[in-house]
Amino acid sequence: MRVSGTTARVLTVAGGLLLAGTLPAAPARADGSLKVDLVSATGTGCARDAVSMTPDFQQTRFAIKGLQANAASPAVTCVLTLDLTAPKKRRYTVSAATIGGRRVVEAGSTGVARGLAGHEKDRVEFSQAITGGTGAWIKSADLEQRSSGCARTYRYTVDLGLKLDPAKGGDSFTVEDLGLKYLLEDC
């Protein structure tokens, strides 16, 4: 087969670019994950700059700094307001929430960590009693909260509250991590 001079030059340049690795990459395909935007973080125990998000496979994790009930602040709150958006032609179900942290309860205090999560009309409350001891704690709640439309944005709220009663000595408990697990389905 004969190749014209122009075609040969084009093939040579294209081949050189391929070998050099300088061709622009193809646009990345959407990974099909849920888009989560932190609208606000308010309350007595947290601020927006104290909350960071990390997407993971079928979940979003939130690290929360400084959310702790102790003798100086026996009751604290943190309200996360989120916008959740499913990918094009899909809708989401928030299937579960997990909250976890650490406790140092040796002076006789007891406490409770409470969560209230959901869209405006389908919020679910869950709680974890905090008793004596030192170490990690975690609470998981099944939610099954579905978006009603496809590829639309919905407002979602997670309201966390910690209460230590009575607050004694060096007793404290902390929320360090919040996770929202989700599933996506075609419309």
Is 21 part of a structural domain of the chain? Answer: no
Is 147 part of a structural domain of the chain? Answer: yes
Number of structural domains the chain divides into: 1
- Residue-wise DSSP of 51-77: EEEEEETTEEEEEEEEEEEESS-SEEE
Is 25 part of a structural domain of the chain? Answer: no
Q: Which residue type is seen at 27?
A: P
Mean pLDDT (10-residue bins), the chain, 187 residues: 47 39 35 88 92 93 95 96 94 95 94 93 92 93 91 94 93 95 93
What predicted TM-score, i.e. pTM, was given to this entire model?
Answer: 0.80
Residue 178: what pLDDT? 95
Is 143 part of a structural domain of the chain? Answer: yes
The domain that holds 170 is classified in CATH as: 2.60.120
Residue 148: what pLDDT? 86
Structure tokens at 154: 């919905």
C-alpha closest to that of 109 among 164, 173, 162, 174: 164
